[in-house]
Structure 1
Amino acid sequence: MSQQPTTPRLRPLPMLGVVVLAVLMLVVWSVVTDSAHRSRSRTPVELPTAEAPPDPGVEPPTIRLLPSDAAVRSPDNRPQQQLAGWAASMSEELDIPRPALEAYGYAASALEVTRPKCGLSWSVLAGVAAVESRHGRHGGAELDRTGRTSEPIRGLPLDGRDGVMLIRDTDNGKLDGDLVFDRAVGPFQFIPTTWKEWGTDADGDGVADPDDIDDAAMAAGHYLCASGGDLRDADRFWEALLDYNASRSYGQDVLDHADYYGRKSRRLSARR
């Protein structure tokens, strides 16, 4: 009589082996899921989560302030170009157009004289502009040597839908081109009513223009200083950012960019 093949019996694993196997499986699962999470949340510059106030970065050199009655008609006479060398040394590696970096440095330096208790750094202005418009490059726009955008940068209509504010037209479309609702304008995304209060002619060309990053950076600086006071204080810093845009995630994004620019500028300076 032939014997039927028997099914081999599995020997039970020792308890220690079971524990080791379970630990290995947990480690593999953790690595895989963490990798997947990081691949989804990665930002272009790998920004950390920074704490306020951000690193102010390498300070721009002392500048000569533009007299209030000056008229600078030539692009080559922009007062911001006092900082051309400072900006050129960092522009490419920070991925900030040189006219934009000159504008941030000039605004911060000017405010250090006119609002010495504010403590606003160029890196904060750079953080705001990075989030608002990629330094005037939103939608494929570029900055010319005068600091103006090649194409108008306009926000969505503030029509009250999809979580945006409802602001009906206040300027007859003069700034934003919209006769029905207001829109945010320029590299720092000012709404017309705010620009009417804070608009500044920072480059002396005779016009306060929100599409000119020189004017917009100075106006944003005045607005932040007036809103927060001493921006070297963490609570005041947050108060100013939330007044600029009432979103905690927006504020954190600005803070992370500002801290990144400040720290990287210091590393660049240390190499030289």
Structure 2
Amino acid sequence: MFSRRAHRRLSPVALAIVIVASALAPAPLHAADPEPALHGLTLAHQPLDAATEWIDPALALGIDEEDLVPTPDFDFVELQASDIYASGVDVVAVKYEDLSGFESRHLRTLQVLETINRDIVNTTFTINQLRPDISRLNTRITTEETQEARLTEEIAVYRHSITEFALRTFIGEDDAAISELEIDSTAAESRVMTDQVRDSHFTEIANREAERARRQVRRARLEEERRATRRRLAELRDIRLELLAEQTAMSKLAERTAASYRRAFHDRLTMHVKRTNIPLVTLNAYVIASRVLAEEQPRCDIRWWMLAGIGAIESNHGQFGDTEVDINGYPKDPITGPALDGRILEGAELVTDETPAPEPTEMTTSTPVAAAADSTGDGAASEEGADVVVPVIKRLALIKDTDNGKYDGDRTYDRAVGPMQFIPQTWESYGEDANFDGEIEPQNLYDAAVASARYLCRAAGSMKTEEGQRRAYFAYNHDDEYTQNVLDRSRSYQRILRISSESLAANRPLGIATPSNTGESTLDQPTVVGVDNLPDW
């Protein structure tokens, strides 16, 4: 039971190693720039420092492997409980996911902690057994001391009696001494009798001295046993104090390995969902938005993959260009479209005196232009049966600044902003702090996804049918090709990824409350511009 204690005593240095070990951790799940703190995630304890090397606590404490209890069963689901993930999203597999290192470290810490707890129980049990043993030894030693005192007193009485006889004989009072014994005898007989009494007393003294010596030996043995028991008890008390110190250190380490696993489980938010290019945090935003609308406008029947189609086309799910989405759903580089200044995007060469450019409007437009005859006089038509390519003049929307540069940084013209590409004035009508981080921010995927869902539902009425979906997508961007692209992408996500049926239950992570703003647009026509239909800027 105490084999590991026989050759190891916990010192301040050993305990310091354990405490230092509580600051060590496995390598991070993936190499990346430091992430901001995850809004909405509360960790009761500081996670391990992922930048340093893990030290096995059993090794640090000198616990032999054979002395450890079996690895405990532990359900990591309790560490996965979250107000961040929408139900169903938490179990979605992501690329490069590996939580095994965090699991093994937490299990190892729990194994060492349970071993220490077992030793504390056993040590306490032994201490409780030794205390009565010492009491019994005290009683036996006291008994021996009492008997030794009795024997010493009796020996003294006999010695005193012998001395008295000798003294009286010397002064001639031996006859009187004999007479005190009430024995009738002659003088010779009296002397013989005196000798016999004296010899009898010597015999009694010898017997009592022998018995006292035996009791002294027995008492010495009992006292040695008591000293050994007391030493053992003191040693066990020290061990128990060591164990309690180790228990405290391991408890703190277990709290931190649990926090490390919990943080790593949420670090998955920055990883991509398997078989897709969607970061998990973006998928989470889509799912949450669809559930918010399921409560607000159940007839709309919008689903997460319908939003994913929009997000894919508008900003590659918040990853437009080379940017990435952070753990809170913000693109690391803000996504801002070109100035909506009415410029001609395509077909400038088609503009002539006879074919003037169309006037800019609040929507990006594509105006067909009659084909000019080619050098052969055959016009734009090619071989019989081939498609006729109708040239167009594509003109960017013209929207003067409406937000004084608040969202897009442009005080001259408006620009589409954020992963769902909202025009500032439209955002003012639909935007809401959907993740309750204190900001109503079009760059944030949670805020933008809820606003986009409301916008689509208002435009479609119901998105249960393909007709309704087309109506919603066309309202988002008045372009048939755009509408088809969004529809195709959304359907592909529907086929690739299914959220578990459990996730159909209403659930509002991130503290989302019933919104007070249902989002009435101030525009007769939606003016959100798709970035894939625009040139590079």
Could you say what secondary structure the match of 1:220 adopts? helix
AA at the equivalent of 1:118:
C
Say if 2:469 and 2:487, in contact at 8 Å, map to a contact too: no
1:85 counterpart = 2:90:
yes
Q: Shift of residue 215 of structure 1? A: 0.4
- Whether 1:245 aligns to 2:427 is no
Structure 1 unmatched runs, 5+: 1-72
Q: Structure 1-normalised TM-score? A: 0.68
SS of 1:99's equivalent?
Answer: helix
2:306 to 116, 124, 130: 124
Q: Tell which has more relative contact order, 1 or 2 (C-alpha 8 A, sep 6+).
A: 1
Contact 1:80 1:203 in 2 (8 A): no
1:76 maps onto 2:35 in alignment: no
SS of residue matched to 1:144 = coil
Question: What residue is the counterpart of 1:226 in the other structure?
Answer: 458
Pairing 1:196–2:428 present: yes
- For residues 31-180 of structure 1, the aligned pairs below 5 Å read 74-76=39-41, 79-83=83-87, 84-88=89-93, 91-162=273-344, 163-180=395-412
- Residues 2-17 of structure 1 mapped to structure 2, 5 A cutoff: none
Structure 1 residues 86 and 107, CA gap change in structure 2 (3 angstroms): farther
- Percent identity, aligned pairs only, is 40
Task: Report the number of matched residues.
Answer: 196
- After TM superposition, give the deviation of residue 80 of structure 1 in Å: 4.4
1:236 & 1:256 partners in 2: Cα distance? 14
Letter in 1 for 2:332: S
Distance 1:250 1:148 in 2: 25
8 Å CA contact retained: 2:86, 2:287: no
Does the Cα contact within 8 Å between 1:118 and 1:232 map onto a contact in 2?
Answer: yes
The amino acid across from 1:85 in the alignment is D
| Aligned 8 A contact 2:329 2:446 in 1 | yes
Q: CA deviation at 1:148?
A: 0.7
> Which 10-residue stretch deviates more, 231-240 or 109-118?
231-240
Distance in 2 (alpha carbons) for counterparts of 1:111 and 1:185: 22
Contact kept? 2:285, 2:446, Cα under 8 Å = yes
Alpha-carbon separation, structure 2, partners of 1:98 and 1:197: 28
Q: Taking structure 1 as reference, are residues 242 and 194 closer, same or farther at Cα in structure 2, changes over 3 Å only?
A: same
Residues 159 and 165 in structure 1, CA contact (< 8 A), matched pair in contact too: yes
Change (3 A) 1:87 1:214: farther
Unpaired stretches in structure 2, ≥5 consecutive residues: 1-37, 43-81, 95-271, 345-394, 501-537
- CA drift of 1:151 comes to 0.6
Larger Rg: 2
Q: Which has the higher helix share?
A: 2
- 1:27-46 deviations in Å (ceiling 9; x for gaps): xxxxxxxxxxxxxxxxxxxx
**Kindly tell me: are residues 213 and 206 of structure 1, through their superposed partners in 2, closer, same or farther at Cα, counting changes over 3 Å?**
same
Structure 2 residue aligned with 1:16: none
Question: Offset of 1:156 from its aligned partner?
Answer: 1.0
Contact 2:40 2:83 (C-alpha < 8 Å) held by counterparts: no
Check the 8 A contact 2:287/2:304 in 1, yes or no: yes
The Cα of 1:190 is off from its aligned counterpart by 0.2
Task: In structure 2, give the amino acid aligned to 1:105.
Answer: V
Deviation per residue, 1:129-186 (Å, 9 max, x gap): 0000000010211111111110110111101112111001111111001111100000
Query: Counterpart of 2:337 in structure 1: which amino acid?
Result: G
Q: CA separation in 2, counterparts of 1:130 and 1:79?
A: 26
- Give the TM-score, by structure 2 length: 0.35
In 2, distance between residues paired with 1:101 and 1:92? Answer: 12
CA RMSD of superposed structures (Å): 1.9
